[in-house]
Amino acid sequence: MLYVSIQELEAAINYWRSQSPAEGEELRLCPQASVLAKPYALMIVQGSQRVPMDVLDGAAQAAIQGFQKITKAP
């Protein structure tokens, strides 16, 4: 089973925020950062250090995999 650490989730959120900063008066997050924010917050509240990849919904999986693909490229 594949896991995502809280540090990697935070790095992915920060990466997506740097690619597409918050918008509007409400400072709305980009879609990728937004879908990763909920599991990140839950991990903080629960004191978790990692989460199984298959617990994330499809959009969150795509956002983290996109981040991993970009940051692990040679």
pLDDT of the residue at 74 = 62
Four-residue CA torsion sign, 28, 58, 42, 14: negative
Q: Can you give the pTM of this predicted structure? A: 0.88
Residue type, 69: K
Residue range 17-52, pLDDT digits in tens: 999 888 777 788 899 999 999 999 999 999 999 999
In the predicted structure, residue 72 carries a pLDDT above the cut 90: no
Separation of alpha carbons 37 and 61, rounded Å? 12
Lowest mean pLDDT among 34-38, 39-43, 57-61, 69-73: 69-73
Model confidence at 73, in pLDDT bands (50, 70, 90)?
low
